[in-house]
Amino acid sequence: NAGVTQTPKFRILKIGQSMTLQCTQDMNHNYMYWYRQDPGMGLKLIYYSVGAGITDKGEVPNGYNVSRSTTEDFPLRLELAAPSQTSVYFCASSSASRRTEAFFGQGTRLTVV
Amino acid sequence: AQTVTQSQPEMSVQEAETVTLSCTYDTSENNYYLFWYKQPPSRQMILVIRQEAYKQQNATENRFSVNFQKAAKSFSLKISDSQLGDTAMYFCAFMKHAINSGGGADGLTFGKGTHLIIQP
């Protein structure tokens, strides 16, 4: 059971570049989430999705875009990367019936220079 | 909007001792869930314990237990017989009940964390 898989694990971007963080889960979960964790801080919700074709903004959505074309995948797109987006990004998923049991990926450490 | 506050940035105890991590939160909701997550150096987020606000009984999971004081909006984590493997960041988190989030998936609101160090 792979659970929640994030790729890449590490990435360095230059200011102004774009990239997509990939997230896939094999548990048939309806709910998926993207969080960011800044140094010395807790996780903050960027975007979430309750199912394919449905996404919504979280607490810190500016500078990001998401899509949910399948149940399994929930990619996070960074356009015009800025140093403020240097962070560790976590993807998580849960089932609708057990939404309090979130499964997290291993995280992607992104540095924008 | 809800907030979660962890006022202890770092704590250090000797192995086998008992340690209590503090968490307070602010919300206007009556039904919600509270969590403690552990994040070791591997970065993996691990659920330690979960409490449903409408349950008066404090949750326990082996060496981990909580003291949930709903009126005071306090949710502390007690770790008994601490072990070296307990060394990690610990995050307190809040989630609305599904009824109060329109049946949707609001996600978790986290505190800033407490770095717990267990000394040999």
Identify the structural domains of chain A with CATH numbers, from first to last.
4-105 (2.60.40.10)
pLDDT at B39: 96
Option in A33, A42, A88 nearest B107 (CB): A33
Nearest-angstrom CA–CA distance, A46 and A62: 8
pLDDT digits over A1-57, tens only? 679 999 999 999 999 999 999 999 999 999 999 999 998 899 999 999 999 999 999
Q: Is B24 on the interface with A (CB under 8 A)?
A: no
Asked if pLDDT for residue B100 goes beyond 80, the answer is: no
Nearest-angstrom CA–CA distance, B32 and B101: 10
CA B16 to chain centre: 20
Per-position DSSP letters for A29-88, written without gaps between them: -SEEEEEEE-TTS-EEEEEEEEETTEEEE-S--TTEEE--SSSSB--EEE-S--GGG-EE
Domain spanning B3-119, CATH architecture: Sandwich (2.60)
Q: What is the mean pLDDT of residues B62-74?
A: 96
pLDDT digits over A54-108, tens only? 999 999 999 999 999 999 999 999 989 999 999 999 999 999 888 888 999 999 9
pLDDT at B105: 58
**Domains in chain B: boundaries:** 3-119
Distance from CA of B9 to the nearest CA of A (A): 9
Asked if pLDDT for residue B1 goes beyond 60, the answer is: yes
